[in-house]
Amino acid sequence: MTFSAGPTGLGTRSTRVQTRAGEQPVRPIPGIYYHQVAEPEPALVAEVDRRVKEWAVHEVDLYPPEWEDEFDAFGTGRSVCLGYPAAAGLEHLDAAAKLLVAENAVDDCYCEDHGGSPHGLGSRLLMAHSALERPYSVAPYEQQWQDRLQSEPPCRAYQSAMEAFDRLTADQIRNREIHDLARLHLGYLAEAAWSIDGAVPTVAEYLMIRQYNSFRPCLTIVDAVGGYVLPADLHDHPQLQRVFALAALATTLVNDLYSYTKELRSPRPHVNLPVAIRHHEGLSVEAAYFKAIEIHNDVMHRFEAEAAAAAAELPGPLTARFLRDVAAWVDGNHWWHATNTKRYTLPDFLPSE
């Protein structure tokens, strides 16, 4: 189910796409390095949205009615269709959508705006994490714990999403995803620690943490969503691990840059790359933001170089395919941000198009 038109393969991405940009306003950050992608089929997007909403409302009972508009506005269907243009089928997109919705729910409910807080986050997040895999013990405690999980909407979502994902893919990919979600949770907890202390991490520390609190759990499942398996001995190769870390960082910095003004409006101070740079390097707001764009671009170039090196060092159809699909996720993620003009407004000091 590929939506790209034109030549394919590494290096051709920027020439490949015909956007239906007329239907979707697009405002990329001036000077930022990105690739255009094809808009997904609207009917596909709508069907993914329909299915995941039905699941969220009727199977998981994820949110109260007053959050419905927020759920709809996020645009889960478009997000996963953009991210996985080579998805094997609707069920695959649906599983990816469920994971995304569940991840957002855990973040929103436990970490952020809807009653979340950095305080006590460690026990809430481990509770959520345990819904992804099954803890065991003895009666009656094991059932008591399952009952507890079932009483928490984000935990129900995690459990159900992981079950759907597990049905589609191999055990080792399920386990890999759980590891990437553990990384995510560790990243959340590091950020919560700063937040409690009011600390602003150094730029070096920030760039490290944003490989953990990142979109890595989305981009490393491209094989599962694509209907194939990149085996562990390739996935765990240091060269590929390097690629994933850089890709994860690049995608997260995109989020930092596009959501910069949104985060300024947040009730609790948010740390992001421009903020960390400004704090530690004494730059103006604008200069810090521009430097953050440069850093993002450098990370993207490094990611692409390392991906090319990996393809050369580990030649094989699966590696090439996986790397291509990761790059597609990175590009789709950027495009989603750049076209999400309702959700994200760019800083005033940027030159207008």
Give the pair of three-digit tokens for residue 288.
């810090």
Find out whether 247 and 330 touch, Cβ atoms under 8 Å.
yes
> Min. distance of Cβ 129 from a second copy in angstroms?
6
Give the pair of three-digit tokens for residue 264.
């300024």
Counting contacts by CB under 8 A, is residue 172 touching a second copy? yes
Find out whether 241 and 326 touch, Cβ atoms under 8 Å.
no
| Residue from 13, 35, 183, 334 in contact with a second copy (CB under 8 A) | 183
What distance in Å separates the CA atoms of residue 165 and residue 212, rounded to the nearest whole number?
21
Binding segment (CB under 8 A) for a second copy, from list 91-99, 166-174, 256-264, 282-290: 166-174
What distance in Å separates the CA atoms of residue 41 and residue 34, rounded to the nearest whole number?
21
Distance of alpha carbon 78 from the chain centroid: 13
Counting contacts by CB under 8 A, is residue 161 touching a second copy? no
Closest to a second copy by CB, 50 vs 179, is 179
Closest to a second copy by CB, 17 vs 184, is 184
Site size for a second copy (CB under 8 A): 69
Counting contacts by CB under 8 A, is residue 123 touching a second copy? yes
Counting contacts by CB under 8 A, is residue 349 touching a second copy? no
The amino acid at residue 123 is S
> Min. distance of Cβ 229 from a second copy in angstroms?
9
> Min. distance of Cβ 284 from a second copy in angstroms?
20
Closest to a second copy by CB, 116 vs 187, is 187
> Min. distance of Cβ 120 from a second copy in angstroms?
5
Q: Extract long-range pairs of 132-136: CB within 8 Å, 24+ residues apart.
A: 132/158, 132/159, 132/162, 132/178, 132/181, 133/162, 133/178
- The closest alpha carbon to 271, from 183, 197, 333, belongs to 197
Q: Which residues in the 200-239 window bind a second copy by CB under 8 A?
A: 201-205, 207-209, 211-212, 231-233, 235-238
Counting contacts by CB under 8 A, is residue 272 touching a second copy? no
> Min. distance of Cβ 292 from a second copy in angstroms?
12
Counting contacts by CB under 8 A, is residue 318 touching a second copy? no
Find out whether 162 and 131 touch, Cβ atoms under 8 Å.
yes
Give the pair of three-digit tokens for residue 214.
């990142």
Q: Using omega within 30 degrees of 0 as the cis cutoff, is the peptide bond preceding 140 cis?
A: yes
| Residue from 46, 196, 309, 312 in contact with a second copy (CB under 8 A) | 196
Q: Residue 217: CA atoms inside 13 Å, Cβ hemisphere, count?
A: 31
Counting contacts by CB under 8 A, is residue 178 touching a second copy? yes
What distance in Å separates the CA atoms of residue 299 and residue 280, rounded to the nearest whole number?
20
| Residue from 1, 88, 90, 170 in contact with a second copy (CB under 8 A) | 170
Find out whether 184 and 99 touch, Cβ atoms under 8 Å.
no
* Cβ partners under 8 Å of residue 148, min gap 6: 127, 155
Counting contacts by CB under 8 A, is residue 177 touching a second copy? no
Counting contacts by CB under 8 A, is residue 174 touching a second copy? yes
Q: What is the largest CA-CA distance in the chain?
A: 64
What distance in Å separates the CA atoms of residue 118 and residue 141, rounded to the nearest whole number?
28
Counting contacts by CB under 8 A, is residue 279 touching a second copy? no
| Residue from 182, 308, 314, 318 in contact with a second copy (CB under 8 A) | 182
Counting contacts by CB under 8 A, is residue 320 touching a second copy? no
Closest to a second copy by CB, 178 vs 320, is 178
Counting contacts by CB under 8 A, is residue 164 touching a second copy? no
Q: Which residues bind a second copy (CB under 8 A)?
A: 119-127, 129-130, 133-138, 141-142, 144-145, 148, 170-172, 174-175, 178-179, 182-183, 185-187, 189-194, 196-197, 199, 201-205, 207-209, 211-212, 231-233, 235-238, 241-242, 245-246, 249, 295, 298-299, 302
